[in-house]
Amino acid sequence: MTNSDAVAILGGTGALGFGLAKRLAAAGVPVVIGSRDAGRAADAAERLRADVPTADVRGLSNQDATAAAGRLVVLAVPLTSQVDTLKSIAEQLSEGDIVLDTTVPLAPAIGGRPTHVVGVWAGSAAQQAAANVPKGVTVVSGLHTLSAALLEDLSADLNQSTLICGNRKADKDHVAEVLGRIDGLHIVDAGMLDISRLVEGITPILVGINMRYKTHAGISITGLHDH
């Protein structure tokens, strides 16, 4: 892949974003880690290079990371900063860009329990994202059921599925092509963006399973041949 195919990961200094950055970089995908603080992003890029010496990775402000990316911008920030982060990069997004929203509206965001979700007025976190991107930019949601800890541990076999939702098949195909480079991750098209409400609701079930079984559970869709 060339640098014009770089994937921006906003919130790439955090648990999910950093794990994803590591897995993509290890798969040879150029990555730009975004942060509210460019220095913090640069530090994260350096940490990543220490673990993956072949990584093509930079760390920039969320705005510069979005501008430097190809079509794909991953949003990996807490629910409470999802809308503000999207508004902060509106000028850097261009027509045809895809925002991959990973937000799970878990109740701890408002002081509740991690095994519960909160209702989002738009219907789902993904639909809330779609309502806050400029015209011509589309939202695909995914990665909700992936454990950040498992992603970050490159010695761990992922061997699981991730469900993606979106209203344009071509955009989902692009996301699947990029994420599909991660070893052991199977990308499954779960339908239109409004289905994301149901997918986002799987995470609190996994959180409960993780608490009971002391593990990092994921999901696997069976019966799909040639995927």
Ligand X SMILES: NC(=O)c1ccc[n+]([C@@H]2O[C@H](COP(=O)([O-])OP(=O)(O)OC[C@H]3O[C@@H](n4cnc5c(N)ncnc54)[C@H](OP(=O)(O)O)[C@@H]3O)[C@@H](O)[C@H]2O)c1
The footprint of ligand X (CB under 6 A) covers 11, 13-17, 35-37, 40, 76-81, 102-104, 106, 143-144, 146-148
Rounded to the nearest 5 degrees, what angle is found at the Cα of 115, between the Cα atoms of 110 and 116? Answer: 50
Shortest distance (Å) from residue 43 CB to ligand X: 9
CB-closest chain residue to ligand X: 14
Shortest distance (Å) from residue 2 CB to ligand X: 26
Q: Which CB sits closer to ligand X, 1 or 38? A: 38
Shortest distance (Å) from residue 119 CB to ligand X: 15
Shortest distance (Å) from residue 145 CB to ligand X: 7
Shortest distance (Å) from residue 216 CB to ligand X: 8
Contacts (Cβ under 8 Å, ≥6 apart) of 53: none
Contacts (Cβ under 8 Å, ≥6 apart) of 75: 10, 11, 82, 85, 86, 99, 100, 101, 102, 103, 129
Q: Which CB sits closer to ligand X, 15 or 26? A: 15
Cβ atoms 26, 154 nearer than 8 A: yes
Q: Which CB sits closer to ligand X, 52 or 146? A: 146
- Residue 133's identity, in one-letter code, is V
Cβ atoms 145, 198 nearer than 8 A: no
Ramachandran category for residue 223: left, alpha or beta (phi over 0 → left; psi -120 to 50 → alpha): left
Q: Which CB sits closer to ligand X, 169 or 198? A: 198
Cβ atoms 157, 142 nearer than 8 A: no
Cβ atoms 45, 33 nearer than 8 A: yes
Q: Which CB sits closer to ligand X, 104 or 185? A: 104
